[in-house]
Amino acid sequence: MHPPPAPAAPPARGPDLAALARRIRELAHQAGFQRVGISGVELGEDEAHLRDWLAQGLYGTMDWMARHGDLRSRPAELVPGTVRVLSVGLDYGQDEEQAWRTLSAGERAYVARYALGRDYHKLMRNRLQRLAERLQAEVGPFGHRVFVDSAPVLERALARNAGLGWIGKNTCLIDKDGGSWFFLGEIYLDLPLPVDPPASAHCGSCNRCIPACPTGAITAPHRLDARRCISYLTIEHAGAIPEELRPAMGNRIFGCDDCQLVCPWNKFARRTDEPDFRARNNLDQATLTELFAWEEDEFLRRTEGSAIRRSGHERWLRNIAVALGNAPTTPAVVAALESRRQHPSPLVREHVAWALERHRGH
């Protein structure tokens, strides 16, 4: 007689993925992220939207937007093995009343609220990396890669699919429980975690952001012409700012927040007291003439660790010259512009000459 066959070994049990997803959220909240969600990697509709936007040339001179082809909308091709994306949001909410006061004070400089303090990229990347390392210490090694605006990632679409908010008509991600004043970051994962339901849209019939754009850059719901956007013009664009757009820029010297300031959902935004995001160099109070006086060495010193460093000193002076051209005519404003009339940069000289012409006859 043959001995009876040995009973089959029970199938090997993998990790409890639902419990793992809960633990990831717990660790992410402990790391200081107010919003956390998990999505899959399918972005077909968003890929079509991106292709159409690129085909129309609405990205201006941001060639890197087109350079990566479809990698931006295909996480598994950017990082092979990726099956899930952990999206996180970090609040940077500021005092909106103060923002409006600055915008209405023509002699003061308006800097986008996200750029008042330290650059968020390093802070978020470090937190996400520590989060991934802590998780590995608990569950063992897994494939992952951290991103904070550092690679071709369709971050708003991924965050929407992870339930963090919907993409508003102003193209910002909006959370009905907290508005749009938050940064996004991601960890691409090779763990088949359960995904969160995507966020539903709640703009409804509201169109406030569209007429609020000073330069008419929001040409239709969910359609932004970067070539007219003040954030693009003051930060990404290297050449002369189109003359017809300069008057509408007002005193905005680095970025623009108007489409967020008018969004009704931002009444639910939480003010943050993250020390890194507190205003530096008095940027929430500074006058245009003060900032125009910074020579390059002072600009580099004061903008160390700041997103403003990205513009460089030449664009900084170009932007402030436009704002001074829009400022009330005073001896201090005219004297500041005169001080840069012979600047070595043709770009700066051209914008200074335009601004001085605006004040002649006042």
Please enumerate in sequence order all residues whose Cβ is within 8 A of that of 301, keeping only pairs 6 or more positions apart, or say none: none
Angle, to 10 degrees, between the axis of helix 312-326 and the axis of helix 331-339?
150
Beta bridge partners of 84: 189
Do the Cβ atoms of 333 and 341 come closer than 8 Å? no
Structure tokens at 348: 């700066």
Strands (E), 198-344: 218-220, 223-224, 252-254
Q: Which two tokens stand for residue 257?
A: 């927040």
Structure tokens at 319: 């932007």
**What is the Cα–Cα distance from 252 to 288, expressed in whole angstroms?**
10
Structural element, H or E, at residue 103: helix 96-104
CA gap 20, 141 in Å, rounded:
13
For helices 346-359 and 331-339, give the axis angle rounded to 10 degrees. 160
Our answer to whether residue 149 is catalytic in this structure is yes
Where on the phi/psi map is residue 81: left (φ > 0), alpha (ψ -120 to 50), or beta?
A: left
CA atoms within 13 A on the CB side of 129: 8
Structure tokens, 360: 């002649």
Which member of 70, 149, 257, 284 is catalytic? 149
* CA angle centred on 86, ends 229 and 33, rounded to 5°: 75
Looking at the DSSP assignment, which residues form a beta bridge with residue 315?
Answer: none
Give 52's contacts (C-beta < 8 A, 6+ positions apart): none
Radius of gyration of the chain (CA): 24
* Beta bridge partner(s), residue 145: 188
Which residues belong to the active site? Answer: 149
